[in-house]
Structure 1
Amino acid sequence: MAQAPNVNIHAAAHVKIANNPKFKELVSKRRAFAWLLSAIMLSIYAGFILLIAYGKAFLGTSLSGGVTTVGFPIGVGVILSAIVLTGIYVRRANTEFDELNRQILEEAR
């Protein structure tokens, strides 16, 4: 059974892309940035868990003599930090990473 001509075209483009120095740059930049943001988020979560484990009295302190404690805004901050870090990744992906990707695809044609 013979292969369709499109398969050879796609295979050639794949090899061209894989050997492109811009592709290697894109992969390394994206990987390093993702690991950095992951480490930041892991640190935030781990810090919050450690605070829960060892700072119960602090987290249980009332903010203004009412029902709301210090732990509530800190917990909200943990959630918001995940949203902010996701936004940072999306912004960089939509600018720098997409531009590199566009250049790579143009060179592969």
Structure 2
Amino acid sequence: MSSIRQNKVERVVQEELSMIFQRNARELCLGAMVSATVVRVTPDLSLARCYVSVFAGPPKEEVLENIKLNVSKIRGEVGKRLKNMSRIPELSFHIDDSLDYANEIDELLKK
């Protein structure tokens, strides 16, 4: 069960990541449109698992690899924007495949 503080941190980190991806799409996302869909923070606020969806562009794996290469820069940007947080969680990025899974189920139901 997530605490209120965890939920607030998750929401704020997700919003900041979305803005960072939007502003730096060419550099960080290889020109693809990337959206931070879900952020899950551990109870001690030391790690944030960030799930991203990749639309219209290079293969998802390439975009994710480039994001992982720039994770320290992204974390620094988040830290600059969230000055009131004493400690910024480590960021771990993963592909959000929930849309693909939903489409697969939808196709199976149509049969």
Q: Scaled by the length of structure 1, what TM-score is found?
A: 0.30
Q: Which has the larger radius of gyration?
A: 1
Higher RCO (CA < 8 A, seq sep 6+): 1
Considering fraction of residues, name the structure with more strand. Answer: 2
